[in-house]
Structure 1
Amino acid sequence: MKKRITLALFVSHLLVAGSGVMMGIYLLPIITAPMAPDQASLELTVKNRDYTGTFSRDRIDSDFLHWGEGEISISPDNIAFSGELAPGPDYRLYLSPEFVETELDFHRLKSSMILVGAINTFGNFIVPIPNNVDPSQYMSLVVWCESFSQFITSGTYEKIN
């Protein structure tokens, strides 16, 4: 009887500890996220944009924990996103020469992609475009979680006439 109680306590404590770790992984990025860019900064990028596109929840590898939805604007200096991303750690923004909708596509094309930068907010963001990167050489943006090799969302973009 004593072994049974000890085993039950061990299992219950292990489950509670595991749940705490999982909650920490999910909540820590939300708690430590910097403020999203203000509306004026977003509007400046939108005003000067050369390309526009969207992120959608309706990607094959997006799910209830990994998604993004909103409008993308690409100016000569910045990529701005007005919308929401599912919270998570270690998000990165990539430019891709092809549309990416799955983790398999991402891994297949990663060598031809360009890492633009880190995403630290989950409602709106602005990521500076590195000087040596030309968005006209790509057609798609991908949000990827480096820590867990997880696809978040993607979208194609097109030149504004």
Structure 2
Amino acid sequence: MTNTAAPVPRRRTAWLLASHVFALLVGFGAGIYTLPILTAPPGPSTEQVAQAAAGGRYSGEFRRDLKDSDPLHWGEGTVSLSLQQIVFTGRLAPGPDYKLYLSPEFVETEADFKRLKPTMLRVGDVKTFENFIVPLPAGADPAGYTSVIVWCETFGQFITAAKYRDPG
């Protein structure tokens, strides 16, 4: 018995390979975006956040219109700082590996963040995308800084920032 099947043209094979690689990349990207949403713990309630923010010494606003914020990397809401914690009421764009920093200068670009990172204090992890309460490390004094920054450590991506006091 002879094989009568026609050989598959190379062009078709290349097209199939390219389409499968594209689908794989889209799926991987969608997974990176949705996994943090699916695995995020519930944020503190509105009452818990309001109570924690009531003891705040400083406050600022996360805004969507910062230079390096974009449709996938943003934050909006109010941030309040006390000597014990940083409290956020609002929403952040979902993403992996968010870190909270205190900065001596307000920044709104990745380049400025990278330039000033050695002078910043890494406060802790942000694990929720709606409201959070992050304790300050022992001995940290927010009076020594002016701004709060949310940064995606894994991808080196600026998310948002809020100025809570003027320098000086």
Normalised to the residue count of structure 1, the TM-score between the two structures is: 0.96
**Structure 1 alignment gaps of length 5 or more:** none
Residues in 2 aligned to 1:42 and 1:78: alpha-carbon distance in whole angstroms: 11
Residues in 1 aligned to 2:23 and 2:40: alpha-carbon distance in whole angstroms: 26
Residues in 1 aligned to 2:27 and 2:53: alpha-carbon distance in whole angstroms: 40
Match of 2:163 among 138, 149, 156: 156
SS in 2 for 1:92: strand
Match of 1:3 among 10, 13, 25: 10
Amino acid at match of 2:165: E
Q: Which residue of 2 aligns with 1:15?
A: 22
Residues in 1 aligned to 2:106 and 2:91: alpha-carbon distance in whole angstroms: 20
Q: 2:82 touches 2:142 (CA, 8 Å); kept in 1?
A: no
Matching of residues 132-147 of structure 1 within 5 Å: 132-147=139-154
Q: Which residue of 1 aligns with 2:97?
A: 90
Residues in 2 aligned to 1:91 and 1:151: alpha-carbon distance in whole angstroms: 10
Residues in 1 aligned to 2:24 and 2:18: alpha-carbon distance in whole angstroms: 10
Residues in 2 aligned to 1:132 and 1:103: alpha-carbon distance in whole angstroms: 28
Give the deviation of 1:107 after TM superposition.
Answer: 0.6
Normalised to the residue count of structure 2, the TM-score between the two structures is: 0.92
Match of 2:111 among 101, 104, 114: 104
Taking only the aligned residue pairs, the percentage that are identical comes to 52
Amino acid at match of 2:118: S
Residues in 2 aligned to 1:124 and 1:44: alpha-carbon distance in whole angstroms: 13
Matching of residues 7-156 of structure 1 within 5 Å: 7-156=14-163
Q: Which moved more, 1:92-101 or 1:41-50?
A: 41-50
**Structure 2 alignment gaps of length 5 or more:** 1-7
Structure number with greater Rg is 2
**Over aligned residue pairs, what C-alpha RMSD do you find?**
1.1
Aligned residues: 159
Residues in 2 aligned to 1:105 and 1:133: alpha-carbon distance in whole angstroms: 22
SS in 1 for 2:76: strand
